[in-house]
C-alpha cells in the first residue's frame, strides 16, 4: 500500500508549464489512446490522427504529403489546424481569443500546462478568468474540451463564447458542413479523393465525417469559413461583429465548426464541454452525443490525484538534480510507453523502429516486447531476411519507406532479445517455434536469430563489408548502393555488434546452438572495417557503387559521421589506437552545446554519390542535425567502452538542450532532432524539431537504468554496477524488476571498493541472487568518492582581423593536442553579411556570438580538453566573459602593425571580413592589462611561425598562481 501511495504522489507532480504564448510559440504537449493521438501547442494549434485502421485525419492542414501525420518543425497557418475560442464582451464589444491564436492579443496572465492526461490553459484577460482543458476519450478517437469562465470584476457581465474548430480543406471531390438541431451538432462530410477504382472498396466504409457537439445547445452557429471570416481575417472575423452567427452551412465550400454560447458570468465559473472527432455518418450523432457528452463532463470533474498510478512509472529516482529526476521519473518513460503502446500509431511500423521501440518496453511492459519479437520473426523470410516493415493489423500493407529495400533490419533482433532476456529471464521464448512469411516450416526463435545473422553475413562484398542497398539505418542515404556494390561501414559494425551480443547471450543463458564460428565472423568484420574504412582519425561512412570512400577527411562536406565511430566502439574496436582518435575527432568536429551532430560539415547541395540526405536543409534531420537517436548510440557507446563520465556529460547535454530557450519546447519529450549545422547556421542550431516519434527514448531509458545506475539483469540475478560520479550525490531509487520491489540507496563515502547491503546483510558481490517475484529488497550501496581531476587549459588567441589568429591558433592546438574553436565560424549569417558590406558590428550583434563562444569553450573544457579559441577579443569585457569559464586561462594577443595588417587583408581571398573595417577594429582594441595573464606578440615576430609556437608553448606551460 505504501508503494502505491508513492507512485500516485509521483504521478501527481508530473507537469510542465510556460507562462507566455510567445516565448516558445511552438511549445507543445501530446496525448494518445489506443485509437488516436494528438499534438497541441500553447497557442491552440493542434494536429491529430486516428486509426481506421490506417492513420487518418478529421481536421486537415495544408500539407504536400497529405497523409503525413507528424513532420519535424511542422508549419502552422492562420486558419488551421486549430482549436480556438473567441470571447466577446457583449457590453463593450471587445473581442479576444484563447488560448492565444488567432487574435494573438497579449493576455494579462497566461499559463500553459502539460500533464500526462490533460493539457490545461489558465488565462486572465480584461477581467475574465478562463480555464481551458483538453483530454481524450478513453475508448474512442474523440477530443474532450472544457472551457470555464468567471467574471473577476464583480459586474456580472454578459459574454458570447464562440468555439472555433477548424476543419481545413477536407476534399476537392466533395465537402459539406451543416448543423443538426436534434443532436446540437455540426457535422462536416467529405469524400476522400481517390483515382484508382481498386481503392474505393477500402474507402467506402471509412469514417468521412467530422463533428463538433456541445454540452449546451448553441445560441447560433456557422459552418462556412469564408462567410464567418469576411475580409478582415480571423483576428477580426465578420461573424463576430453581429449579434448572432448567420447559421450558414457550407456546400462545397471550406467548412468550419463554430458555435456561439451566450453566458451571464459571475465570480463562480460557468462551464461548457465540447466533443470533437470523426464519425462515419451524421446518423451516428445521437448515440455519440448521448454517450460522450456525459463522459466528457465526468472526465473534467475528476482531479489528477484521483488517477490510478501510471503503468510506466516503475523507476523512480531522487537525486540532487530535480530537473533530471522529473524527466527520468515521468516524461521519459511516458514517451517510451507511447511508442510501445500504439507503435507510433501505425499499422506497418518500420522493422528497425518496431524492434528498437520495444527495447524500452522491456522495462515497462515486457509482454509487449515478447509479442514484438514473435510477431516480427513470424514475418521473417525463410532465407533469414527481415521485411522492411512489420504488419500489425490484418488489413495493413507496407507503405512509404517500407516499400524501399533497406539492409539493417536483421541486426536489431539480438539487440532486443538481449534486453528482454536480461529483464525477464524468460528463456522459454528461445524455444518458441515459429514459421516464416514464405514457408510453413517451423523453427525455434534461436534458429530464426541465427538465420538473420547468417543472412546479413552473406550480403557482403569481396572486402567483407556489408552491402547498403538503398539505405541502412540512415533512410535517405539511398544512392550509395542501388547498383548492388556500395557498402556501409556502419552496417558492418552494427552486424559485428549484433554478433557480439548473440555470443554473449549464448554464453550467459546457456543457449544450445549448432556449432558455428560467429567469433571468427566478428573478427572478420572488425578487420574489414579497420583495413578499408579507417581514415587516420575516424572511420569512413562507407564506399559507393563507384568504389569511392566517403565520410573522410578529404571530403568538403560530410567529412565525418557519428554512427561509425559509435558502433566501432560497440563492436569492440576500442583499443586506444583507435578510440582516443575517434573521441577527439567526434568532439572536435561533431560536438555542439546541444549534442553531437550526425555528420559535419552539413551538405549544402545534392551529392549524387550519397543521395537524398544531401538534399535536406543543412542542420535538419539526417543532414547534420543533432539527431538524438544517433546521439543516443554514442552515449551508450561511452558507457559501454569505459567512458562513463563523458557519457553522463553527453546525456546531460541532450537533456539540457531540451530545456534550452533555443529549443523552444517543453521538456516533456526528447525530439527526434535539434537543429545542427552549428558552424554553418549557428543562429538556428539547437532548435527542436518538436517531433516526439523517435527511437531515442528507448535507448536513453535503457542507458539510465542499465548503464548509469547499473541495474541489469542476467539469468536469475540483478547486478548493481552503477557508473555515476560522486558529484551526482547520494541517490534514492525505487525500481520494479520482475515484479519485485527494489529500494536502493546509493551513498558515496570513504571506501576503497563498492559495498552492497541487502536487507541489512552484507552481500558477497554486487548482485541480488535469484530475484523472487513479489519480494521486497532494501539495498544500500556504498561507492568510493571520485579522485580529483585536473582542470583543462583554455587559451585565447586574440587580435584584430588579419593578425593571424586562425593560423596560429590552429597550429598551437595541434602542437598541444588541444581542440580548436574558430570564432569566425560561430558568427550568424546576418553578422557575416554586415561585415562583408563594411558595416561594423554593434555590441548587440556581438552578444549572441560571444555567448556561443562561451558555451562552446565551456563544453570542450568540461570534456577534459585543453581548448584554443581564436576570436577578436577587442574589448576587455569580451575576453573576461570567456576567461570567466575557467581559472586556468592564458591569453595570447597578436598585435602586428597596421601596415602589415592592411597588406594581409588586401591579399586575403575568400574571407567575409571587409578590409575597410580594420580602422574601426583598431580603434576599439583595448590592449590587455597585466592581470589578464597575457603574452603579447608584435608584428616583428609574425613571419616565423615555428618560433612563435615555441614561444606560445613556453608561455602556456609556465605555471601561474591561477594554475594551482
Active-site annotation, residues: 475
What's 279's DSSP letter? E
Q: For residue 190, what are the contacts with CB-CB under 8 A and spacing of at least 6?
A: 170, 171, 173, 174, 175, 176, 208, 209, 210
* CA neighbor of 429 nearest in space, from 493, 475, 366, 335: 366
- Contact between 39 and 46 under an 8 Å Cβ cutoff? The reply is yes
* CA neighbor of 135 nearest in space, from 289, 303, 330: 303
- Report the relative pairing of strands 889-895 and 934-938 from DSSP bridges: parallel
Burial grade of 911 (CB within 10 A; 0-12, 13-18, 19 or more): middle
User: If you search the block for the grid coordinates 542476467, which residue do you land on?
Assistant: 714
Q: For residue 733, what are the contacts with CB-CB under 8 A and spacing of at least 6?
A: 315, 316, 317, 318, 709, 711, 742, 743, 744, 745, 746
Please state the three-class secondary structure of 680-698 as a single string.
CCCCCCCCECCCCCCCHHH
Phi, psi of 594 (to 5 degrees): -105, 10
Q: How far apart are CA 373 and CA 620, in angstroms?
A: 32
Sequence length of the chain is 964
- The three-state secondary structure class of 82 is strand
Q: How far is CA 208 from CA 52, 155, 174, 204, in A?
A: 11, 45, 11, 9
Q: How far apart are CA 874 and CA 889, in angstroms?
A: 17
Sign of CA dihedral 639, 642, 645, 649: negative
User: If you search the block for the grid coordinates 526528447, which residue do you land on?
Assistant: 670
Q: Which run of H or E residues covers position 831? A: helix 829-836
- Contact between 218 and 164 under an 8 Å Cβ cutoff? The reply is no
Sign of CA dihedral 421, 426, 428, 433: negative
DSSP letters, 239-277, are HHHSSS-----EESS-EEEEEEEEEE--SS-EEEEEEEE
Q: How far apart are CA 568 and CA 596, in angstroms?
A: 16
Q: For residue 33, what are the contacts with CB-CB under 8 A and spacing of at least 6?
A: 136, 137, 138, 139, 141
Q: Which run of H or E residues covers position 228? A: helix 225-229
Q: How far apart are CA 630 and CA 567, in angstroms?
A: 10
- The three-state secondary structure class of 493 is helix
* CA neighbor of 189 nearest in space, from 181, 198, 180, 178: 178
Neighbours of 153 (CB within 10 A): 11
Q: How far is CA 600 from CA 552, 811, 926, in A?
A: 10, 21, 36
- Contact between 573 and 586 under an 8 Å Cβ cutoff? The reply is no
Q: Which residues of 920-952 are buried (b: 16+ CB within 10 A; e: fewer)?
A: ebeeebeebeeebbbbebebeebeeeeebbeeb
Neighbours of 152 (CB within 10 A): 15
Q: Distance between alpha carbon 571 and the CA centroid of its chain, in Å?
A: 25
Q: For residue 125, what are the contacts with CB-CB under 8 A and spacing of at least 6?
A: 87, 96, 98, 105, 107, 108, 109
Amino acid at each position: 500500500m505504501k508503494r502505491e501511495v508513492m507512485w500516485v504522489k509521483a504521478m501527481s507532480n508530473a507537469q510542465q508549464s510556460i507562462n507566455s504564448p510567445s516565448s516558445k510559440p511552438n511549445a507543445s504537449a501530446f496525448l494518445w489512446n489506443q485509437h488516436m493521438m494528438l499534438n497541441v501547442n500553447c497557442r491552440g494549434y493542434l494536429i491529430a490522427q486516428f486509426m481506421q485502421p490506417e492513420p487518418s485525419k478529421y481536421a486537415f492542414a495544408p500539407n504536400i504529403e497529405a497523409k503525413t501525420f507528424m513532420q519535424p518543425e511542422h508549419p502552422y497557418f492562420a486558419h488551421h489546424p486549430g482549436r480556438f475560442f473567441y470571447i466577446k464582451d457583449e457590453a463593450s464589444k471587445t473581442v479576444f481569443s484563447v488560448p492565444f491564436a488567432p487574435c494573438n492579443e497579449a493576455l494579462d496572465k497566461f499559463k500553459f500546462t502539460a500533464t500526462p492526461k490533460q493539457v490545461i490553459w489558465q488565462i486572465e484577460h480584461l477581467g475574465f478568468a478562463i480555464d481551458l482543458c483538453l483530454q481524450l476519450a478513453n475508448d474512442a478517437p474523440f477530443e474532450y474540451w472544457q472551457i470555464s469562465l468567471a467574471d473577476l470584476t464583480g459586474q456580472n457581465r454578459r459574454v458570447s463564447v464562440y468555439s472555433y474548430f477548424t476543419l481545413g480543406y477536407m476534399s476537392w471531390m466533395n465537402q459539406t458542413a451543416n448543423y443538426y438541431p436534434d443532436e446540437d451538432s455540426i457535422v462536416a462530410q467529405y469524400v476522400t479523393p481517390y483515382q484508382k477504382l481498386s481503392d474505393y472498396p477500402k474507402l467506402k466504409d471509412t469514417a468521412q465525417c467530422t463533428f463538433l457537439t456541445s454540452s449546451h445547445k448553441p445560441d447560433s452557429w456557422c459552418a462556412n469559413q469564408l462567410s464567418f471570416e469576411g475580409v478582415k481575417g480571423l483576428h477580426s472575423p465578420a461573424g463576430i461583429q453581429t449579434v448572432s452567427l448567420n447559421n450558414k452551412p457550407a456546400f462545397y465550400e471550406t467548412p468550419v465548426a463554430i458555435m456561439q454560447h451566450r453566458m451571464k458570468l459571475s465570480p463562480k465559473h460557468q462551464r461548457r464541454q465540447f466533443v470533437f472527432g470523426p464519425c462515419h455518418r451524421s446518423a451516428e450523432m445521437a448515440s455519440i452525443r448521448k454517450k460522450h457528452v456525459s463522459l466528457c463532463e465526468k472526465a473534467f470533474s475528476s482531479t489528477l490525484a484521483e488517477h490510478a498510478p501510471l503503468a510506466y512509472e516503475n523507476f523512480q529516482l531522487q537525486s540532487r538534480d530535480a530537473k533530471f529526476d522529473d524527466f527520468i521519473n515521468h516524461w521519459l518513460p511516458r514517451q517510451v510507453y507511447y511508442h510501445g503502446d500504439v507503435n507510433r500509431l501505425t499499422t506497418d511500423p518500420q522493422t528497425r523502429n518496431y524492434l528498437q521501440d520495444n527495447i524500452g518496453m522491456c522495462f515497462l511492459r515486457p509482454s509487449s516486447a515478447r509479442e514484438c519479437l514473435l510477431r516480427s520473426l513470424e514475418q521473417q523470410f525463410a532465407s533469414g531476411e527481415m521485411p522492411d516493415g512489420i504488419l500489425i493489423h490484418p488489413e495493413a500493407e507496407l507503405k512509404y519507406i517500407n516499400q524501399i529495400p533497406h539492409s539493417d533490419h536483421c541486426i536489431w533482433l539480438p539487440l532486443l532479445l538481449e534486453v528482454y532476456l536480461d529483464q525477464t529471464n524468460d528463456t522459454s521464448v528461445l524455444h518458441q517455434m515459429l514459421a516464416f512469411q514464405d514457408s510453413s516450416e517451423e523453427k525455434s526463435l534461436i534458429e530464426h536469430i541465427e538465420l538473420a545473422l547468417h543472412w546479413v553475413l552473406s550480403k557482403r562484398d569481396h572486402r567483407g563489408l556489408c552491402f547498403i542497398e538503398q539505405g541502412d539505418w540512415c533512410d535517405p542515404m539511398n544512392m550509395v548502393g542501388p547498383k548492388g556494390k556500395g557498402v556501409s561501414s556502419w552496417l558492418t559494425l552494427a552486424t559485428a555488434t549484433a554478433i557480439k551480443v548473440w555470443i554473449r547471450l549464448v554464453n550467459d543463458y546457456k543457449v544450445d546452438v549448432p556449432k558455428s564460428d560467429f567469433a571468427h565472423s566478428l573478427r572478420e568484420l572488425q578487420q574489414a572495417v579497420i583495413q578499408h574504412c579507417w581514415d587516420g582519425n575516424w572511420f569512413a561512412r562507407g564506399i559507393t557503387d563507384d568504389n569511392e570512400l566517403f565520410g573522410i577527411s578529404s571530403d568538403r562536406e560530410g567529412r565525418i559521421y557519428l554512427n561509425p565511430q559509435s558502433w566501432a566502439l560497440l563492436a569492440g574496436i576500442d583499443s586506444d589506437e583507435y578510440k582516443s582518435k575517434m573521441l577527439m575527432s567526434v568532439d572536435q568536429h561533431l560536438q555542439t552545446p546541444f549534442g553531437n551532430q550526425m555528420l559535419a560539415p552539413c551538405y549544402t547541395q545534392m551529392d549524387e554519390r550519397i543521395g537524398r540526405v544531401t538534399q535536406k536543409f543543412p542542420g535538419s534531420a539526417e543532414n547534420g542535425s543533432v539527431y538524438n537517436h544517433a546521439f543516443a548510440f554514442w552515449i551508450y557507446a561511452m558507457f559501454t567502452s569505459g567512458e562513463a563520465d563523458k557519457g553522463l556529460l553527453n546525456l546531460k547535454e541532450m537533456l539540457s538542450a531540451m530545456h534550452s530557450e533555443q529549443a523552444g519546447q517543453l521538456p516533456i519529450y526528447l525530439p527526434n532532432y535539434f537543429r545542427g549545422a552549428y558552424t554553418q547556421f549557428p543562429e538556428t542550431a539547437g532548435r527542436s524539431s518538436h517531433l516526439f516519434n523517435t527511437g531515442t527514448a528507448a535507448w536513453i531509458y535503457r542507458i539510465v537504468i542499465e548503464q548509469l545506475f547499473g541495474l541489469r539483469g542476467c539469468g536469475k540475478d540483478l547486478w548493481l554496477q552503477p557508473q555515476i560520479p560522486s558529484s551526482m550525490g547520494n541517490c534514492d531509487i525505487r525500481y520494479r524488476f520482475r515484479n519485485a520491489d527494489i529500494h536502493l540507496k546509493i551513498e558515496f563515502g570513504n571506501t576503497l571498493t563498492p559495498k552492497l547491503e541487502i536487507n541489512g546483510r552484507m552481500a558477497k558481490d554486487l548482485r541480488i541472487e535469484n530475484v523472487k517475484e513479489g519480494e521486497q529488497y532494501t539495498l544500500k550501496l556504498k561507492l568510493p568518492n571520485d579522485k580529483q581531476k585536473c582542470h583543462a587549459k583554455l587559451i585565447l588567441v586574440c587580435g584584430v582581423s588579419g593578425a593571424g589568429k586562425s593560423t596560429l591558433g590552429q597550429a598551437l592546438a595541434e602542437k598541444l593536442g588541444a581542440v580548436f574553436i574558430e570564432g569566425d565560424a560561430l558568427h550568424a549569417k546576418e553578422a557575416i553579411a554586415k561585415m562583408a558590406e563594411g558595416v561594423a558590428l554593434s555590441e548587440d550583434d556581438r552578444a549572441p556570438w560571444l555567448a556561443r563562444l562561451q558555451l562552446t569553450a565551456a563544453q570542450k573544457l568540461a570534456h577534459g580538453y585543453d581548448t584554443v579559441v581564436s576570436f577578436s577579443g577587442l574589448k576587455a569585457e569580451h575576453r573576461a566573459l570567456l576567461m570567466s569559464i575557467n581559472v586556468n586561462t592564458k591569453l595570447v594577443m597578436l598585435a602586428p602593425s597596421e601596415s602589415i595588417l592592411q597588406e594581409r587583408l588586401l591579399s586575403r581571398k575568400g574571407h567575409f571580413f571587409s578590409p575597410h573595417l580594420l580602422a574601426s577594429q583598431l580603434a576599439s582594441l583595448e590592449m590587455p592589462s597585466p592581470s589578464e595573464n597575457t603574452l603579447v606578440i608584435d608584428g616583428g615576430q609574425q613571419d616565423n611561425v615555428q618560433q612563435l609556437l615555441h614561444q606560445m608553448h613556453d608561455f602556456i606551460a609556465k605555471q601561474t598562481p591561477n594554475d594551482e
